[in-house]
Amino acid sequence: MSVNSTSAERLLDAKALRRTFGTFATGVTVVTVGGATPHAMTANSFTAVSLDPPLVLVCVGHKAVMHHALGAGLFGVSVLTAGQERIARHFADTSRPLGAAQFEDVDTDTGPLTGAPLIAGALARFECETWNTCDGGDHSIFLGRVLSMDRPDADHDEALLFYQGRFHRLEPGRNEVQT
């Protein structure tokens, strides 16, 4: 017996679905674009896709300012440390100023290949060019070809995590599952 997609969609409550999606812990990134109107957004929908060619993806809602900004074709991604929760909250706040003003209290470096602001002290930073865009319902899936990357001090910091709608960090001394 199969269930057609229309029936299945009606059965799903959006808030319950969001909570259920939230049971999958993710890292936290800030996606950025440079240019005349720089912009940033906190995203946990970031993933490595391919080593050859080197590809990553980020999912962005159609109504988000970043959706239009990514049309420029070049972007940066900064993977945040546990100590950068303030930055994650800042770029998730829809009431923050737009343009260059949103970066005033955040230490960034300008990506030499993309012009995108990259968060200083991040675990890892990627500069990307849009390789493809796919429809993903109320989001678009932006595939980015990695142009450059760096891991400044990544071995010494813990990642910022997002789980069940809240930010988390790994518990010191309990980073590995014992088998």
Residues 117-173 have pLDDT tens digits of 999 999 999 999 999 999 999 999 999 999 999 997 656 678 999 999 999 988 766
Average pLDDT over the chain reads: 90
Question: Is 146 part of any domain?
Answer: yes
* Peptide linkage before 53 cis (omega within 30 of 0): yes
Share of the chain above pLDDT 90, in %: 75
Q: Is residue 145 part of a domain?
A: yes
* Residue 7 within a domain: no
Residue 150 in any domain: the answer is yes
Average pLDDT over residues 60-78: 95
The two tokens of residue 53 are 């060619």
| Per-residue pLDDT at 11 exceeds 90 | no
pLDDT at 61 over 60: yes
Look at residue 70 and tell me if it is in a domain: yes
Give the SS3 label for residue 150.
strand
Range of the domain at 69: 48-76+136-154
- What per-residue confidence (pLDDT) applies to 44? 93
* Mean pLDDT of the 108-115 span: 98
Question: Using 50, 70 and 90 to split pLDDT, how confident is the model at 1?
Answer: very low
Q: What is the pLDDT of residue 5?
A: 56
User: Does the pLDDT at position 34 exceed 60?
Assistant: yes
Question: Residue 124: inside a domain, yes or no?
Answer: no
For residue 170, give the DSSP letter.
P
CA distance 58 to 28: 11
Q: Does a structural domain hold residue 43?
A: no
E-strand stretches of 70-171:
74-79, 108-110, 117-119, 124-136, 139-150, 160-163, 166-169
Domain presence at residue 19:
no
The total number of structural domains in the chain stands at 1
Rounded Cα distance between 54 and 64, Å, is 26
